[in-house]
Amino acid sequence: MDHRKPTIHLAAISIPAFSHQASILQFSKRLVQLHPYLHVTCIFPTIDAPPEPTIDFLQSLSSSSIHCIFLPPIAKHDLVDHHGNATPPAVQIQLAVSRSLPSLRDALKSLCISSPLAALITDPWANEVLEVAKELHLLSFVYFPLSAMTLSLFLNLPRLDREISGEYRDLKDPIEIIPGCSTIPINGLDLPEHLQDRTSLSYELILQRCKRCSLADGFLVNTIFEMEQSTITSLQNVFPIGPIVQSGSSSSGTGSGCVEWLEKQTPRSVLYVSFGSGGTLSEEQLNELAFGLELCGQKFLWVVRKPSESANSAYLGDGEQDSLQFLPSEFLERTKERGLVVSSWAPQNEILRHSSTGGFLTHCGWNSILESIVCGVPMMTWPLFAEQKMNAVLLTEGLKVALRLKANERGIVEKEEISKVVRSLMEETEEGDGIRRRIGELKRDAASALKQDGSSTKALSQVVDQIVTLWRQRQSN
């Protein structure tokens, strides 16, 4: 690497959600490690205040080549719909980004004056900034922190909107006009919940953003070429640069003794149960999960969050509290010999990497999926919101590295179903053995992609070459 190259300045814009901010910060870290002459300024819109986990993450980066600007906060109570009603978290995020656009434009213009920008990279939910990039004559890329399958859906949503009448959830047959997804049966009900009501504000906002994607010069997708090859090759200007996941030890310690407890368990004997940074279950469903874990007879490490009727009530970081009080009476006492239950948070990266972890019951957030693949941990899928149902289909029907739990007619996954699927995954069965073999192959693909000559490293270098070439042309004019 030629360290004598002049510094080239990029801006990266995310949204006010920790999972997205962590992903783009981790991407920026990899970018400057591979190309030390790059400097990245991350710009984050804010709801009320910056997320505390993001502040912690920034402090752990210790890179002089990455800086962060938090835009003036938008008050959460002002993020309402046309009628003044409270809106879902995904809509709040999009409204906050839109209302932050004037200060975002000012920040970018200021950067262009103080240290001329070569390119702009944005989260798909903040892609209004693509129009600003055109105003400032900058190359622009969308950093897509989700799967290539989800990108394909978003790029083709305007076409679906034109060609399909009625609600997607009412479609009788799988959707076959999403490029690269013809071999995986995506049904209308598998699409993100914000696409299920085409008269809603959330659908309108998403459709606008999907139409705006054509302004981008390319898409940096947090996936692995070998994992989603058919989808990636069916799209244009897509660069698979993943897996971008958190690495190393958590800055927050070991989390209620999780790692110490795992040290005492036998290899691949523990099922890790977590619904990510924002997923929540209803009280009835929380009880069924508890009884299912008790019934299955397997060891488990469960991260419990306060129950809620809204599956993503914790997504914007609402206050944590002791969640163990919501568990069934005497559950902790009855399972203390083979289970560890912690409240709200656990060091997921360390848990998945631990040799005692043999399975992961996950909400199918893309960050969690990639972390599980990198660690070679088989999965059970329990999708809750956003694009997680699509991810579950990819894992179970496409990659075949997970088992899917089935809900009853009321949408509740019953304890008998939980117990049965846990045993199928964790015990030495033909089905479980096949999943472990395939996830092992994906783990090797993920490691290879990040090597110096790997597919992800090469894809990222292609993007950097584009940026450097255009920057040099401008400098010479």
Catalytic amino acids?
20, 123
End-to-end CA distance of the chain: 26
All residues at 6 or more sequence positions from 236 whose CB lies less than 8 Å from its CB, including other chains: none
**CA distance linking residue 50 with residue 18, whole number of Å:** 9
Instruction: Name residue 140's beta-bridge partners.
Output: 120
**CA distance linking residue 291 with residue 295, whole number of Å:** 6
- Nearest to residue 427, comparing CAs of 268, 264, 292, 294? 268
Task: Count CB-CB contacts under 10 A for residue 437.
Answer: 12
The residue written with tokens 């997708």 in the block is 221
Q: Residues 113-148, buried b or exposed e (16+ Cβ, 10 A)?
A: eeeebbbbbbbbbbbbbbebbeebebbbbbbbbbbb
Summarize the chain as % helix, strand, coil (round to 5). 45, 15, 40
Residue 94, both tokens: 């999009």
Task: Decide: helix, strand or coil at residue 239.
Answer: strand
- Write out the H or E segment, with its range, that includes residue 17: none
Q: Count of H helices and E strands in the chain?
A: 17, 13
- Nearest to residue 55, comparing CAs of 45, 70, 73, 40? 70
Dihedrals φ, ψ of 103, to 5°? Answer: -70, -30
Residue 54, both tokens: 């993001």
Instruction: Name residue 319's beta-bridge partners.
Output: none
**CA distance linking residue 357 with residue 413, whole number of Å:** 23
- Nearest to residue 387, comparing CAs of 130, 80, 178? 178
**CA distance linking residue 172 with residue 170, whole number of Å:** 6
